[in-house]
Chain A
Amino acid sequence: MKKRNVRRWLALFGAAVMAVSLLGGCGSSSSTDDKGNKSSQEQGALSDKEIIEKAAKDGKIGNWGLGNEYEVLALLGKYGLPTDYLSQDFTMDGFDDNSVELASAMTYNELGLVKNDYDGGYGYGDSVKYIDMNDEGVAMMEDNIFCTKKFAKENPQTVAAFLYASLKGWEDAVKDPKAAADIVFKAGSSVSPDHQKYMADEVAKLVTTDVNGKQVSDIGNMDDDAMQQTLDIAKKYVTLDDKSAQKKLQSTGLDDIRDKQYLEAAKASDGSFKPEKKSVSIQLKWLPQAQFMGYYVAAAKGYYDEVGLKVKIVPGGGDIAETTAVNNGTVDFGVTWETNLASADAGGMDLLEVAQIYQRSGLVLVYKPENFEK
């Protein structure tokens, strides 16, 4: 209890310092305003920085934990705030009843549920605003494609062929998200059709826009800057209790966790491969939904068959599956986040990222403007 009080006072003090420095005239942190989400220019509204500070002071910033929290921690660290957050359960009910005022949400999932009023949605419409991790410079890289180093070394053609076909699937999917959503839906979706369509649109944005908001044409590109930023944040905020693992994480470099040669081979190829292993499987991070539409499109349109692969898509749905399943050889490929991969490798696994599908972070902190008025 005492500790909490001390923290609270520290937070208050920090906020006071911030307020003073704000008066000094450095309220220029929010300038990019292309989507109309930043309301700092509006009269009576707080800037993003002030919102974060207020929410941190009140202890009303929420996140799910379970490895999803590092961007939020980095954001708090960026503003010199104590890195405490409220654990959010997996619903947005806490946001709904104001127990969490600045709530974590993925653009393609929770944000849609908060805004939309279809079945399962909360129907807030555009009355809610959000703070984007990409704009704040604390974005971390999410959905990628990975396999074990051993598998990649032994089956270079298979990896390249798989990437070639998967990327082709993703290209089609981002061109026509509606059609992709339909394909996923038919393949056995776990979400309602309306939400699926919303998700497909949002995922397409994540795949084709980078952290700086620029258009990305080569899907799957492993951007060094973005990946390095992710790794730096991970090194700073991931704490592994196993000391040797922690040490290994600290000394991890980009070249330890990703290899570009397979992606380059796939991009340079004309589409004919000699795969060493013809029958492969990919473990998704979650249940079938538009988050993974590229693979479903590739399978439905026969792109995998064209490169001589038989691909089985294994839905996830748990917290455990992907890294463990790939590492022990249950499946050949997997979809995970860079941080998970880096900490798994630090813990002793042997994983390698071969393509980065999502080019920007999907995490935002959503809030109701009425909670943050001057």
Chain B
Amino acid sequence: MEERMRKYKRRKSILRRLSESPKAQKVETVMLPVAFGILVVALWQGKILHRLFHTDTFVLPVPTKIFGIMGGITDKVIGNTIDTLLVAGIGLLLGSIIGYLVAVIASFLPNMGKGGLTIVGAFASIPIAALAPVMNNWTKDVSTEASFRSMISKILVVLLIAAANMGLNAYRGLTELKPYALDLMATYAASKRRIFVKLQLPNSLPYVFIALKVSVPASIMTAIVSEYFAEYITGIGRQIRENIVLAQYSIAWVYITVACMIGIVSYALLMVIQSLVLKRYR
């Protein structure tokens, strides 16, 4: 144990020397994950990953094959991606707005609000697999167009998850103020509205982003999963399922890849927006 520790210390010191210059550190932050990614892809392409996992190129096609197929069916992929993005995006947007409004109302009703939020939060814990078919049943009368009502039902599932997430976090942001901040506002004889705009709202912003960091990936995931149960056959998730039923794993992998890319891009986008917004308020 001791020896290992010493060894470990030595390694660290070399690294520390390396990371002393901020330039090298920056390069490291970008390069290391990229290098790791390249390594995995190389192992994958070289079919070494397959040997490691005792699997074949049928279930786990090599990357060149996946991208080759993707190039051939671009239109179809884009169409399905848009359908999934619409569901995830609209659900996330509406859900977050509703969640925030609920939190605002709850923060004005200190007595009953918190209990209500506990209930709202509970919705986030309901398994999507149980929620999706129920929403399907409830949206049967929305429209005679199956594609439309099926989309509404998917949006509702995403909305519920996003709202629960946002409600809980925004409430914390609106109520967990810095000590004495409220007293200070009171000495200024500030109106409730002023307190809200000048104190609570800015204070809740970082919490909004905490919520979004969870709900952006969650809403994509929820959209994909609710597609499995949806009435109308469309979207990335449904394509994965349909192709797996037909044992077309390489096509399924195309859509899995797209799903991952959506996740990464949307998360990166969120980070950019966060740095812009939070910078403005500071």
Which A residues lie at the B interface, using CB under 8 A?
65-67, 86-89, 93-94, 97, 99, 238, 240-243, 245, 319-320, 323-324, 327-328, 340, 343-344, 347-349
The proximity string for B residues 114-155 relative to A, scoring 1 for CB distances below 8 Å and 0 otherwise, is 000000000000000000000011001000101000100000
Chain B contact residue count (CB 8 A cutoff): 31
Q: Does B250 make an interface contact (CB < 8 A)?
A: yes
- Min Cβ gap B69→A in Å is 5
In the assembled complex, which residues on chain B have CB atoms less than 8 Å from the CB atom of A87? Answer: 146, 150, 231-233
Question: What would 20 A/B residue contacts be, using CB atoms closer than 8 Å?
Answer: A66-B241, A67-B245, A87-B232, A89-B136, A89-B230, A93-B140, A94-B140, A97-B140, A242-B69, A243-B69, A243-B72, A245-B248, A245-B250, A319-B241, A327-B247, A343-B248, A344-B247, A348-B58, A349-B58, A349-B247
Q: Name the CB-closest residue of A to B144.
A: A99
Taking chain A's interface residues, is the majority helix, strand, or loop, or is none over half, making it mixed? Answer: loop
Beyond A99-B140, A347-B58, whether A65 also contacts B242 by CB under 8 A is yes
How far does the alpha carbon of A323 sit from the alpha carbon of B58 in the complex, in Å? 12
- Find out whether the CB atom of A347 lies under 8 angstroms from the CB atom of B245: no
Q: Does B251 make an interface contact (CB < 8 A)?
A: yes
Q: Name the CB-closest residue of B to A345.
A: B247
How far does the alpha carbon of A241 sit from the alpha carbon of B146 in the complex, in Å? 25
How far does the alpha carbon of A241 sit from the alpha carbon of B249 in the complex, in Å? 11
Q: Does B243 make an interface contact (CB < 8 A)?
A: yes
- Min Cβ gap B117→A in Å is 33
In the assembled complex, which residues on chain B have CB atoms less than 8 Å from the CB atom of A89? Answer: 136, 229-231
A-B contact count (CB 8 A): 77
In the assembled complex, which residues on chain B have CB atoms less than 8 Å from the CB atom of A65? Answer: 233, 242
In the assembled complex, which residues on chain A have CB atoms less than 8 Å from the CB atom of B150? Answer: 87
Please tell me which one of the listed residues A86, A94, A242, A328 contacts residue B248 in the complex, with CB atoms under 8 A apart: A242
The proximity string for B residues 61-75 relative to A, scoring 1 for CB distances below 8 Å and 0 otherwise, is 000000001001100
In the assembled complex, which residues on chain B have CB atoms less than 8 Å from the CB atom of A240? Answer: 246, 248, 251
- Find out whether the CB atom of A340 lies under 8 angstroms from the CB atom of B140: no
- Min Cβ gap A296→B in Å is 25
